[in-house]
């Protein structure tokens, strides 16, 4: 029995760029044909990009997708192509069409429509009602779309129809628990059906969501045959042996470092790069305070975009320590970015002077502290406006959770790389990044626009990109003398443990306290989370990397009596 040779196109397909996506699909089809593939598969909604959201409500958008699909089908010759696209026939379906010999041979409609987390499929699509199979290279192949494989029935229907191999096209967002869950589901479906599975996933950043690729091959007995690395664009070649129901990967790239910190760092880098590049910004700028959050944000920005596209600005006041001044300058020099020091003391004092009559009879408090932060926000937004570089906010998830941030101050920014990263993870990432500085970064991270996609680069300066003194110092906003974050918050190890249980775990205060946390501390932290929803609604978007991100995934009412 002949083997089936196929390719999985683990690439980024931008939302709304229908013509460009079609051109990329056409080029990859040609590569697959040249390589002798019987089949080449593309991710879920590759033609429209995922998720197209309310673009799907525009008839002209759906018509453009249909026109490009017809043109792709007409050009297919010598290889079958499985293409994800929106399919409109009175109702709109999330579809996968098999293009072969100049025509659309069959179309499968996604049956299971997710409507949880970041997914909103039921708003836009109607569900399909049957599993589609097709003969390709002498093999009966089942065609599933993403969520279909998370339910047992669609795969079981494919097996009942005689499928030997099931190809699943996906746009599955990454988070820190996703890959283990995917593998468990695919292994379960394989064991239930006896079918082998080729799981293809989208890669790239789209607004707040990051897709990791990390495509998989699973044999008919449920064993993992191959894993593609996360956040690498690649045409993945494979062969299927129908007699043994086994899959063989041909020369798949291998991750240089697959530890949790490496994958998370790669997710953040990809999120930053794609947000900036897809929206057409020439570069970014950020306030570099001498603290660990802005230090990690700067390293991410340089790794994503290259040093020539990044500007860092230090804005000291009388409360800024020499350690902060030295640490910020050292990092800027090591990474080779444009660096400015703009002393804001006089500007801040002018604000205070102007407000003094209206503040009469009231003692100084956090108002004056926040005014320093807002002075910095004004400066940074002016620089962004003048130079056209997007401002990155540097706050982390721990701060956003409890409102330890200043609206229109340090929350200023159009994109927040660390928005879904807890403070304890910020420390882990900073230490990992310093260790990665003298070896290949992997995961497609590149330092300048001229590097080929998926290539690995080395940091030219052997020194750690984040000064150790910045990592080791007690965290501080430096808005008053001798201030530390722990003046206002529990220690971050304790705070993050409580936050993760309340936010990701959805545990009650009583449940959290029962795990050894002081009830008063739990009550205080939860109160802060609930009170600061109004701030988070006004925060910049940032890459989703946990199972419960603020924004499109975790949507609590601002006005609520629930405590």
**Does the annotation count 345 as an active-site position?**
no
Alpha helix (H) ranges present in 336-479?
A: 345-355, 366-387, 397-402, 423-436, 468-472
Q: How many CA atoms lie within 13 A of 4 on its CB side?
A: 28
Q: CA 469 to CA 328: how far, in whole Å? A: 10
Q: CA 171 to CA 153: how far, in whole Å? A: 20
How far is the first Cα of the chain from the last one, in angstroms, to the nearest whole number?
65
Which residues have CB under 8 Å from 275's CB, separation 6+?
Answer: 205, 207, 415, 541, 543
Q: CA 274 to CA 106: how far, in whole Å? A: 33
3-state secondary structure 479-520: CCCCCCHHHCCCCHHHHHHHHHHHHCCCCCHHHHHCCCCCHH
Task: Give 431's DSSP letter.
Answer: H
Q: Report CA dihedral (95, 100, 104, 108) to the nearest 10 degrees.
A: -30
C-beta separation of 75 from 26 below 8 A? yes
Q: CA 350 to CA 106: how far, in whole Å? A: 70
Q: CA 223 to CA 70: how far, in whole Å? A: 38
Q: Which of 284, 262, 272 is nearest to 204 (CA)?
A: 272
Which residues have CB under 8 Å from 405's CB, separation 6+?
Answer: 395, 399, 411, 535, 539
Report the side by side order of strands in the sheet with 284-287: 338-341, 310-314, 284-287, 390-391
**Rg of the chain (C-alpha set):** 25
Q: Which of 24, 110, 397, 535 is catalytic?
A: 110
Q: Which of 65, 68, 146, 423 is catalytic?
A: 146
In Å, what is the CA distance from 239 to each residue of 79, 170, 236, 539? 15, 20, 10, 47
**Does the annotation count 146 as an active-site position?**
yes
Q: CA 433 to CA 465: how far, in whole Å? A: 8
**Does the annotation count 386 as an active-site position?**
no
C-beta separation of 77 from 32 below 8 A? no
Which residues are designated catalytic? 44, 110, 146
């Amino acid at each position: 029995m002949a083997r089936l040779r196929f390719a999985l196109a683990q690439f980024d397909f931008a939302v709304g760029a229908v013509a460009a996506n079609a051109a990329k699909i056409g080029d990859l089809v040609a590569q697959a044909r040249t390589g002798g593939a019987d089949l080449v598969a593309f991710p879920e909604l590759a033609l429209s990009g995922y998720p197209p959201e309310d673009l799907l409500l525009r008839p002209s958008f759906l018509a453009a997708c249909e026109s490009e699909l017809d043109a792709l089908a007409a050009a297919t010759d010598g290889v079958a192509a499985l293409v994800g696209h929106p399919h409109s026939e009175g109702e709109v379906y999330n579809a996968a069409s098999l293009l072969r010999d100049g025509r659309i041979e069959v179309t499968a409609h996604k049956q299971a429509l997710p409507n949880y987390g970041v997914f909103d499929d039921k708003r836009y699509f109607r569900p399909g009602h049957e599993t589609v199979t097709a003969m390709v290279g002498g093999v009966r192949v089942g065609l599933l779309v993403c969520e279909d494989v998370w339910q047992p029935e669609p795969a079981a229907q494919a097996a009942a129809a005689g499928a030997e191999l099931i190809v699943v096209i996906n746009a599955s967002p990454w988070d820190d628990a996703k890959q283990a869950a995917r593998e468990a589901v695919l292994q379960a479906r394989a064991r239930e059906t006896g079918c082998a599975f080729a799981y293809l996933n989208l890669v790239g950043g789209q607004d707040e969501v990051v897709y990791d690729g990390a495509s998989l091959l699973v044999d008919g007995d449920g064993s993992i045959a191959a894993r593609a690395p996360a956040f690498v664009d690649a045409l993945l070649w494979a062969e299927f042996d129908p007699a043994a129901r086994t899959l063989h990967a041909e020369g798949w790239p291998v991750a240089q470092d697959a530890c949790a910190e490496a994958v998370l760092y790669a997710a953040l880098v990809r999120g930053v790069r794609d947000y900036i590049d897809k929206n057409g910004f020439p570069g970014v700028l950020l306030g570099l305070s001498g603290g660990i959050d802005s230090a990690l944000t700067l390293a991410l920005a340089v790794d994503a975009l290259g040093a020539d596209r990044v500007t860092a600005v230090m804005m000291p006041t009388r409360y800024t320590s020499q350690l902060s001044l030295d640490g910020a300058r050292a990092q800027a020099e090591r990474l080779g970015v444009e660096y400015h020091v703009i002393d804001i003391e006089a500007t801040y004092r002018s604000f205070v002077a102007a407000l003094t009559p209206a503040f009469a009879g009231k003692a100084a408090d956090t108002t004056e502290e926040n005014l320093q932060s807002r002075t910095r926000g004004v400066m940074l937004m002016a620089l962004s406006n003048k130079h056209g570089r997007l401002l990155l906010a540097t706050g982390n998830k721990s701060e956003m959770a409890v409102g330890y941030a200043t609206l229109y101050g340090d929350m200023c920014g159009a994109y927040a790389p660390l928005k879904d990263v807890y403070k304890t993870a910020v420390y882990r990432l900073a230490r990992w990044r310093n260790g990665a500085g003298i070896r290949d970064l992997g995961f497609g991270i590149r330092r300048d626009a001229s590097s080929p996609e998926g290539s690995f680069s080395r940091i030219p300066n052997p020194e750690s990109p984040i000064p150790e003194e910045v990592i080791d110092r007690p965290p501080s906003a430096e808005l008053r003398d001798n201030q530390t974050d722990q003046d206002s918050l529990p220690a971050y190890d304790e705070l993050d443990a409580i936050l993760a249980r309340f936010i990701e775990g959805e545990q009650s205060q009583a449940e959290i306290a029962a795990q050894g946390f002081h009830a008063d501390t739990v009550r205080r932290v939860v109160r802060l989370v609930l009170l600061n929803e109004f701030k988070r609604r006004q925060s910049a978007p940032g890459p989703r990397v946990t199972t419960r991100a603020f924004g499109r995934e975790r949507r609590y009412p601002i006005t609520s009596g629930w405590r």
